[in-house]
Amino acid sequence: MAQRKSDSMDKARDTPSNMPADPSANKAAEASASSGIAKLTKRAAITQIIAAVVANITIISSGMGIGFPSIAMMELTNSTTSVALTESEASWFASITSIMCPFGGLLSGYLLDKVGRKRTLYCINIISVISWAIMSFASRTDASVLFVELIVARVIIGIAIGLSSTPASVYAAEVAHPLLRGRLTLLTAGCTGIGMLLVYSLGYMFKEDWRYVCTICGVFTGVSLITVIPLPESPSWLVGKRRPQDAERYLKVIRAIKEDNHPEIKAEIKSLEENVARFRSSETKKSSKLVQLKKPEVYKPLTIMCIFFLFQQFSGIFVIIVYAASFSVEAGVAIDPFLSAVLVGLTRVVTTILMSFISDKFGRRPPALFSGFGMACCMFGLAACAVFPVADTQYNWIPTALLVAFIFTATLGFLTLPFSMNAEVYPTKIRGFASGLTIFFGYTMSFIILKSYPTMVSAIGNENVFLFFGLIALLGIVFVYFFLPETKGRTLQDIEDYFRGGCKEANASDADKQASKA
């Protein structure tokens, strides 16, 4: 009986709310209720939400860094200003970040496992402050010096962006109760969107002073660094580092339990220790990260996530995010390009909030399928507007509507899901390394498409670039339908077992879920 309760608790502890429970969400809740962490009190829920939000405030600065080229590009390439960049220099300014993001992603995996979740967040904030400071005091008289300073700053912020792609979502997944985990792991995508919206809004307000925008962003990042100080470290990581006493102390804070030797806390710590021991027992003395990558529960999700990121990048999502203002001009949007960028950022933030509820109700696959279809339709529509311009007609609102609709549908699936799923599909022991490796691949693809975009427009024209993005989105639908597993309601252990055992079970689970609802 005790063993059965321990097993039940092990599953409930790892259950993300954004994965389909075997029969239904109600049964998942009942299973959780029989475990040691079932009592999600109001105080515990508030504590976990605050912890996840504080961890993700760090990500806002990274979102600012991603969107910054959009608001600075037009002034930096304006030949009437005292210093200006050439078209080639401007493309490097916009894309250099993506070169470093992959290395930041790999470094993220190392730091997550080596120094912990909290100290990794410290590193992100410190690196970001340095980058914003360099750009705030960039040269106003020498274009060559300005270019070097901007490139150095963007390289640094690129490392920070790569670093920030995983830690906050992993932290949220590890500290949250199963009933909260789904929504809290989406906070990373939401805070990235908030960061972009803020920098787009600042760019709209200070169109001719991007240095002042950098100063504001730097001050905000400094405040973010301070907020991380009281954050409790992840108990999962502490157990993995053989620090059970510290893990128990922080777990009591996260679960809002004051009593010493509380049975539910003891049971959860024991469950965490069993999970770590189970993984270590499968390793040989000469085992390495590369050896672990040969295991099906690692290489299968790694392959799926890397391909998902490939479709994300080559469907044009990050092109619009980074080149928002100039892309609006290319797409024939009639309103102020800076205001268009603000609409893009606002749409992403609102849709990310909706996504937290949609993923809980419908899972992963249906929103992703709808997302790919919507993105393809919007890109084909923009291609049609490029062939048949509507700028001087009564239909001049169509490109704006298509651009906003693209961001809306992209955020429902292809933009947010790769990042949120990256925090949950890998085994605990190798989660940091594998998720970092995935981010490395994703941002490598990002650099390729961002650096190629201006050349593609010059070589084949706007309409063909839009058609290319639309076709990639259609192929992404095929990939999602046949290969992306449904994970809503399944425990982290269930996901690991599924990848270890084969690929038929996960897609069948979606049908089981629909049948149980009926």
> Domain limits of the chain?
42-231, 287-503
Given this model, what pLDDT does residue 476 score?
A: 92
Same fold, 42-231 and 287-503: yes
Looking at residue 201, its amino acid is S
pTM: 0.68
DSSP string, 327-342: HHHHTT--S-HHHHHH
Give one word for 242, left, alpha or beta, with left for phi > 0 and alpha for psi -120 to 50: left
Sequence-distant (≥ 6) Cβ neighbours of residue 50 within 8 angstroms: none
Q: Which is the CATH superfamily of the domain at 287-503?
A: MFS general substrate transporter like domains (1.20.1250.20)
Is 18 strand, coil or helix?
A: coil
Is 506 strand, coil or helix?
A: helix
Beta bridge partners of 488: 19
Whats the size of the chain, residue-wise? 518
Given this model, what pLDDT does residue 1 score?
A: 43
Distance CA 173, CA 171 (A): 5
Q: Domain 42-231: which topology?
A: Growth Hormone; Chain: A; (1.20.1250)
pLDDT in tens, the chain (518 residues): 444 444 444 444 443 333 434 443 444 444 444 444 546 778 888 888 899 899 999 889 888 988 888 888 877 877 666 677 887 788 788 878 877 877 887 788 788 888 888 999 999 999 999 999 999 998 888 888 989 999 999 999 989 988 887 788 888 888 887 777 767 877 887 888 889 889 988 988 887 788 999 999 999 999 999 999 999 888 888 888 888 888 888 888 888 788 777 777 788 788 777 777 766 665 544 456 667 777 777 788 888 889 999 999 899 888 877 776 666 666 666 566 677 778 777 887 888 777 767 776 777 788 889 999 999 999 999 888 888 877 777 777 788 888 888 888 988 888 878 877 776 777 767 777 787 788 788 878 888 888 888 888 888 888 898 999 999 999 999 999 988 887 776 666 677 777 777 544 444 444 344 434 43
Is 488 strand, coil or helix?
A: strand
Can you give the C-alpha Rg of the chain in angstroms? 23
Angle (CA) 310-452-405 rounded to 5° is: 60
Given this model, what pLDDT does residue 334 score?
A: 59
Given this model, what pLDDT does residue 332 score?
A: 61
Give one word for 316, left, alpha or beta, with left for phi > 0 and alpha for psi -120 to 50: left
- Structure tokens given for 199: 């920098």
